[in-house]
Structure 1
Amino acid sequence: MDTLTRIRAFIDVVEAEGFSAAARKTGRSKALLSKYVRELEDELGALLLNRTTRQFSMTEAGHTYYRTAADILKEIDNLADLVRENNADLKGKLKITVPRTFIDADVGQSLIDFAKEHPDLALEIVAEDRFVDLIEEGFDLAIRITKLDDSGMIARKLSDFRVYACATPAFLEQYGPLTHPQELSKVPFLVDTNSRNHNSVRFFEPDGSAISVAVTGPIEVNSPQATLRAALTGLGVAIIPDFIVKPHLDSGALVSLFDDYLPANRGIYAIYPHRRYLPAKVRVLVDFLYGWFRRNA
């Protein structure tokens, strides 16, 4: 029996958190998996797993071995994907983390369209607004809406992105005119708590200097969709992503404010870990998303 098979058995047991669960998941018997892991331990001369009738845990050596072995197996699997010439042969699962803002908006249709075009690839889409550690948490790809910071990750820009400060014409008639961002501290503001600084908003003067404006208002919520609905009812000024608010600006239901003071160097990015062999399924997804945003600009 080759070492690679034993390593796969060990990783299956660790990721399933037990021999019985791994047996059910892989279709192999518990006894066979136990045999493979024991042979691997004999080969290494080290105990990798603590086994009792009720508990399962890795030893310190097991933790060390698992981290490196999992990376090696992923590289082997990625290399196998890479040499496949026909994308129709791609199978398996893609685990993706996306902001809730993205998946709940019209742009979230991009992932649905990909799933329809590639029925043999299963998408596990995890929608949350925190920055996920892709490697530590086993994600293949992240969609991020941000100003891109330098990191060890690889990024491809899918689309430009900006936000708009906006309010209804009736609200501006009551509280306006508003000519400078500092005036927001004196009017009701709808706070999207996804922002890193909930109670202040950052703007930029034409010379590039930053302005931090303290804001308060009747609603604080971690949802751009909710702040949009509140803005449309005239409750206050809101800062909302372009791909959510643009139709309402075009219709005149909302009016944009301070466009020259809001940053425009943001984007929607596909982020993935730096690997020597990029999995073909990740490459196909990123290429699809890039094309989707070109077609649906």
Structure 2
Amino acid sequence: MDTLSRMRCFLKVVDAGGFSAAARELGRSKALVSKYVGDLEDELGARLLNRTTRQISMTEVGHAFYKEASDILTRIDDLKASVQNTHQAARGTLRISAPRSMGDDFINPAIMAFLVAEPEISIDLRLEDRFVDLVEEGFDAAIRVSEMTDSSLIARKLASFRATVCASPEAIARLGTPRHPQDLASLPCIIDNNYRYRNNWQFQVDGARLGVAVKGRVEVNSAQAARLAAREGLGFLRTPHIFVHRDVVAGRLVEVLESFHPEAQAVHVVYPHRRHLSGKVRAFVDFLSAWFADKRKRGEIC
């Protein structure tokens, strides 16, 4: 037993008025309680209690030790409670990393809604298309669209995103409807260079992956700019369906080559630790799960 536990045992014996009563309150044997107090006295090199067969009384040193020990343990208990309350409560600054390509149209609305729901949390959001080291760089959580291979991170799947190729009705009327992915090689395409394959678009043809080299007048690093370019008729765009869902529903963009897209990718929220998860991270993960679930229910994501 450590010193603090022995101190608590000593205080309990004094407060209960004897070893037997203290043992009952602690759920320990009288012999064990007596041993703990004896071990404390040995550690201190001083007798704290005078013992008789019927009663105990504190020595002069015991009186002084009782007062100081009470103050110390009270401060420790207060500190522990303060840390637990701060850790478990949804408050403080939350550092989050997310892909720039998802930021404007998808992540930002979710995070702003989260801030409205959790007024005691502040956000430090970094939008960048790289995998940050959460622990080394001090991030609380990250949003990632990929297969999870880092076993040191805890991941909760939020949704699956399928890709789509689309263009404006005007562009399709002018350029024609591609029937096979290879047709895109001779058509103007809008390239969002946030994505891994950039101008080498990936498709699934007869169970095999096919890469198609594409080109066009427009190359950007913004999903929003790419979508606007497609709406203006500047070419065909390959992008996650979530970014153009509203435009497709409204008829501003038309999907093509729908049967040739690879399997949907998963988006996860990841964080370093499951044990002693802070209140702010838990609130964020739970909120995102509910927010994405609502998007799925509305048919805006897979």
Q: Pairwise mapping of residues 87-98 of structure 1 onto structure 2 (< 5 A)?
A: 89-98=89-98
Whole-Å separation in 2 of the counterparts to 1:150 and 1:278: 21
CA deviation after TM superposition for structure 1 residue 255, in Å: 0.9
When structure 1 is superposed on structure 2, of 181-190 and 264-273 the one drifting more is 264-273
How is 1:90-129 mapped onto 2 (pairs within 5 angstroms)? 90-129=90-129
Where in structure 2 are the equivalents of 1:164-243 lying within 5 Å? 164-207=164-207, 209-243=208-242
Measure the CA separation in 1 of the matches of 2:81 and 2:283.
15
TM-score by length of 1: 0.67
Q: 1:141: which partner in 2? A: 141
1:233 shift after superposition: 0.9
RMSD: 2.3
Q: Which moved more, 1:230-239 or 1:270-279?
A: 270-279
Q: 1:83 to 1:213 in 2, by over 3 A?
A: same
- Quote the offset at 1:103 in angstroms: 2.6
Distance, in Å, in 2 between the alignment partners of 1:158 and 1:117 is: 19
Structure 1: runs of 5 or more not aligned: 1-78
- Please give the secondary structure, in 1, of the residue aligned with 2:195: coil
Question: Quick one: structure 1 residues 91 and 259, their matched pair in 2 at CA, closer, same or farther if it must change by over 3 Å?
Answer: same
Q: Residue 80 of structure 1: CA displacement? A: 7.8
* Residues 1:80 and 1:269: Cα distance change in structure 2 (over 3 Å): farther
Q: Report the CA distance between 1:90 and its aligned residue.
A: 3.1
1:265-289 Cα shifts (integer Å, max 9, x gaps): 3122101124533223211210111
Structure 1 runs (4+) greater than 6 angstroms displaced: 79-82
Q: What CA distance in whole angstroms lies between the structure 1 residues aligned with 2:261 and 2:122?
A: 38
Give the aligned residue type for 2:215.
Answer: T
Task: State the alpha-carbon separation in 2 of the partners of residues 143 and 160 from structure 1.
Answer: 13
**Equivalent residue for 2:284?**
285
Instruction: Give the AA of the match of 2:197.
Output: N
CA deviation profile, 1:25-51 (whole Å, cap 9, x unmatched): xxxxxxxxxxxxxxxxxxxxxxxxxxx
TM-score, scaled to structure 2: 0.66
Structure 1 counterpart of 2:264: 265
In 1: Cα distance, 2:82 partner to 2:234 partner:
52
Name the % identity: 38
- Equivalent-residue separation in structure 1 for 2:242 and 2:107 (angstroms): 7
Shift in CA distance, 85/280, structure 1 to aligned 2, threshold 3 Å: same
Number of residue pairs matched?
A: 216
